[in-house]
């Protein structure tokens, strides 16, 4: 194995990093300008909206977002102060907490979703054929499975510079 990425790997890697950063910036600005919420707010609200009873344990919410505990804690604290989510004690584990979507949070996600979905379609899916969408889903799904397997405790995770 070489120490550096090949030219093709470097182009693919940088393209992926730049694409995700650019999309997050554009979509974050759109949500903030049109709805007064951040992309992080939207992601949390969306997960809670789709959860049974519109509530999730903090650890499950963090896992679904692939966020570290400190990022999730800060985000949830900001959202609590704005009345978008409420913290509840976990009924089955005193150490855990559950977060619930509030009526204000539900209003925020239902108002933001149509324009956010339209923006995602316009920025991403309108530029792709149906076959490319299927390929993208396969690629991202496969990479996520690979990452999940390589991040389990006890697995080596050395990576060449990228």
pLDDT at position 156 is 45
Count of Cβ atoms closer than 10 Å to residue 98 Cβ: 21
Domain of residue 43 covers: 7-111
Listed residue (122, 162, 144) closest to 26, CA to CA:
122
Q: 82: domain CATH number? A: 1.10.10.10
Q: How many domains does the chain have?
A: 1
DSSP state for residue 111 in the 8-state scheme: H
138: in domain: no
- Between CA 70 and CA 62 the distance in angstroms is 10
Nearest Cα residue to 99 out of 82, 83, 76 = 76
**What integer pLDDT is reported at residue 85 of this predicted model?**
98
pTM for the full predicted model: 0.85
Q: For residue 118, is it within any domain?
A: no
pLDDT of res. 162: 47
pLDDT of 33: 97
159 in any annotated domain: no
Assess if residue 22 is contained within a domain. yes
- Rounded Cα gap, residues 133 and 135, in angstroms: 5
| Res 152: pLDDT | 61
| Inside any domain, residue 18 | yes
**Angle formed at CA 152 by CA 150 and CA 156, multiple of 5 degrees:** 55
Whether 80 maps to a domain, the answer reads: yes
Residue at 69 is within a domain: yes
149, part of any domain: no
Low-confidence ranges of the chain (pLDDT < 50): 155-162
């Amino acid at each position: 194995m070489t120490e550096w990425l090949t030219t093709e790997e470097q182009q693919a890697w940088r393209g992926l990093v730049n694409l995700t950063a650019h999309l997050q910036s554009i979509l974050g600005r759109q949500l903030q300008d049109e709805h007064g919420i951040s992309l992080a707010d939207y992601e949390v609200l969306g997960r809670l909206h789709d959860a049974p009873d519109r509530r999730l344990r903090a650890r499950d919410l963090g896992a679904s977002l692939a966020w570290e505990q400190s990022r999730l804690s800060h985000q949830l604290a900001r959202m609590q102060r704005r009345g978008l989510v409420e913290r509840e004690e976990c009924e089955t584990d005193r150490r855990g907490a559950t977060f619930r979507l509030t009526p204000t949070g539900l209003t925020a996600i239902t108002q933001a979703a149509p324009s956010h979905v339209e923006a995602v379609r316009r920025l991403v899916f309108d530029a792709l054929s149906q076959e490319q969408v299927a390929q993208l889903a396969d690629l991202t799904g496969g990479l996520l499975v690979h990452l999940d397997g390589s991040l389990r405790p006890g697995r080596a995770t050395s990576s060449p510079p990228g």
